Structure 1
């Protein structure tokens, strides 16, 4: 079968739903309760057929996941020159950096730390000062946001358009 990364993910979801359905049916039919004095009427359940169905689904899922991992490792994104696998790692790193830079860009150059309340001592007012250029942090944040968006779009395009084959 041929897949895009996006279609493989959807197919994996469908297989997982089918496996869950088979296991729910197994859970409902593999045992039964009979009250004392009643005639047993066991539900239809085939242990071997259920195991075979689950095994077949697991085999398909394993093959597709392996193909998807191989696709991510081997597919080179044209703009960034990275494999999808590497780009996903870089994207996570960039998102972490973006969070830190966002926090720095939201600071004030001078911020009052402690307010005096009614009845409080007349101690000194304390301030926290940023010892870096906040405008530079804001600029870096916007630049990193643009880089993240560009890389994500490049990954999305590959996931929607490039095909890989899986024998299932």
Structure 2
């Protein structure tokens, strides 16, 4: 916990670097928690001196280290959140936060359009229930669906590249 007396230097980093640092902090936190599970208790055989098999474990030091990491995670996540909420992707006129919603929407649209674009105008279907042959007809313009699929694929690619460019080039400050 910060007391206000400490002076913490601000670091400049990109979103990509901040996210990598966040993954590393979470990995380190998990490693410490897993070690704590192993070292916070131990077994000794009856008659054995427990001090001879006691693992090295410092409860207060471990808790302090975990709290420090958790504080850094909060700070980083907040800085990333702030960056995402306030940084506009110029090509789209949306904030990064909006783009993080828009890109999955485009992906789902692309998947739907792919199914429609691959349909054939008239397809024969055989029914198990009878010997009657049915035909399934496309109820839309398949060429339009195909064109929309191509457009959406290009738009998705452009959106991903624009977001990657910002995440790897624009820096923001983080007080770690």
TM-score normalized with structure 2 length: 0.89
**Which residue in the other structure is 1:12 paired with?**
22
Of the three residues 31, 42, 50, the one matched with 1:32 is 42
Q: Does 1:22 align with 2:35?
A: no
**Which residue in the other structure is 2:64 paired with?**
52
Q: The residue matched to 2:126 in structure 1 has which SS?
A: coil
Aligned length: 164
Where does the alignment leave 5 or more consecutive residues of structure 2 unmatched?
Answer: 1-10
Alignment of 1:119-134 (within 5 A): 123-134=131-142
Moved over 2 A (4+): none
**Which residue in the other structure is 1:159 paired with?**
167
TM-score normalized with structure 1 length: 0.93
Q: The residue matched to 1:57 in structure 2 has which SS?
A: helix
Query: In structure 1, how many angstroms separate the alpha carbons of the residues matched to 2:154 and 2:100?
Result: 16
Q: Deviations over 1:90-137 (max 9, x none)?
A: 111111111111111111100111078xxx96x321110001111110
Contact 2:126–2:132 (Cα < 8 Å) also in 1: no
Query: In structure 2, how many angstroms separate the alpha carbons of the residues matched to 1:31 and 1:37?
Result: 18
Query: In structure 2, how many angstroms separate the alpha carbons of the residues matched to 1:126 and 1:40?
Result: 80
**Which residue in the other structure is 1:102 paired with?**
114
Where does the alignment leave 5 or more consecutive residues of structure 1 unmatched?
Answer: none
Of the three residues 74, 77, 84, the one matched with 1:72 is 84
**Which residue in the other structure is 1:62 paired with?**
74
Query: In structure 1, how many angstroms separate the alpha carbons of the residues matched to 2:23 and 2:92?
Result: 30
- RMSD between aligned residues: 1.5
**Aligned-residue offset at 1:81:** 1.2
Q: Does 1:3 align with 2:13?
A: yes
Higher strand share: 2
